[in-house]
Amino acid sequence: MESKFDIFLKGVNKILNVIGGTALTVMMLLTVSDVIMRSLGHPILGAYELVSMLLAVVIGFTIPKVSMDKGHVIMEFILEKLSPRGSAVMITFTRLLCIGLFAIIGYNLFLIAGEFKLSGEVSSTLKIPFFPIAYCVGVCCFIECLVFVSDIIMVWRTQHE
């Protein structure tokens, strides 16, 4: 049975995944259009900047969903050699490390976004501000932390059932 926390996380991750997928589609269309237009002698102004920013959105917004769906690499051969309790301890330990890592990344992205906002840092061609993207990816890092918390809860819940 899924908890309200898990249902909430799945809903948030679904929304983030749609945003990330849309950004990937736009990035792909923009790249193809730029290549075609460039061959005709009229490149799309700022295409490189937009693709770079969209890439940050794609990566940041889809990481929580990939983690929740277990779409990343897992060292199962190590876990298979451990007892169920040992496996739960190992998963908990690695998830705690991941929580620490993504909390630090998210925190630093918020600091950088604040600096970008104060300094008025923008892209060179289109003058798009960087700070909203840094804030959004930082939020996604904190959501990733919640996914890891959910993993820990699930591991110990199934351990005691």
Q: Where are the domains of the chain?
A: 4-159
Give the SS3 label for residue 150.
helix
User: CA 161, CA 152: separation in Å to the nearest integer?
Assistant: 15
Instruction: For 147, list phi and psi in degrees, rounded to 5.
Output: -60, -40
Q: Angle, nearest 10°, between helix axes 84-119 and 131-159?
A: 170
Exposed/middle/buried for 84, CB within 10 Å: 0-12, 13-18, 19+? Answer: exposed
Q: pLDDT tens, position by position, for the chain (161 residues)?
A: 678 998 999 999 999 999 999 999 999 999 999 999 999 999 999 999 999 999 999 999 999 999 998 877 777 777 778 787 888 888 899 999 999 999 999 999 999 999 999 999 999 999 999 999 999 999 999 999 999 999 999 888 876 54
pTM as predicted = 0.87
